[in-house]
Amino acid sequence: MFGGMGNMGNMAGMMKKVQKMQNEMKKMQDELKRKTVEVTAGGGAVKVVMNGEKQVQSLTIDPAAVDPEDVEMLQDLISAAFNESVKKVDDMMASEMGKLTSGLGLPPGMF
């Protein structure tokens, strides 16, 4: 007669787990926003520091990399450092999210 009640208990337990995971994800995302990645290009000629919100915190250019005759090279170095910084932030986020969701049996990249 009350055979379905067991499923209600399972559902309530699952909802608690989901809420806990959501709280943990929010906490982790807040922590990741404060972390930074540092990337160099051109053997250190250009350095980018970016936070977890993908905001550039600093950009350092070695004066030796500034050649008025070859502006394109400097532009390429800045672009490479910026793009690698974004990739590192994405990788950092994916790695941390993977740790959090690994016990759920969800496919990678779901979150």
| C-beta of residue 101 within 8 angstroms of C-beta of residue 111 | yes
**Residue 80 resides in a domain:** yes
**Residue 17 resides in a domain:** no
With cut-offs at 50, 70 and 90, classify the pLDDT of residue 20. confident
28-40: burial string, b at 16+ Cβ within 10 Å, e else: eeeebeeebbebb
Number of domains in the chain: 1
**Residue 26 resides in a domain:** no
- Domain range holding 72? 31-103
pLDDT at 3 over 60: no
**Residue 87 resides in a domain:** yes
With cut-offs at 50, 70 and 90, classify the pLDDT of residue 111. low
Q: Which residue has the tokens 């350095």?
A: 47
**Residue 46 resides in a domain:** yes
0.75 surpassed by pTM: no
**Residue 38 resides in a domain:** yes
Q: CB-based contacts of 111: which residues, under 8 Å, 6+ apart?
A: 25, 97, 100, 101
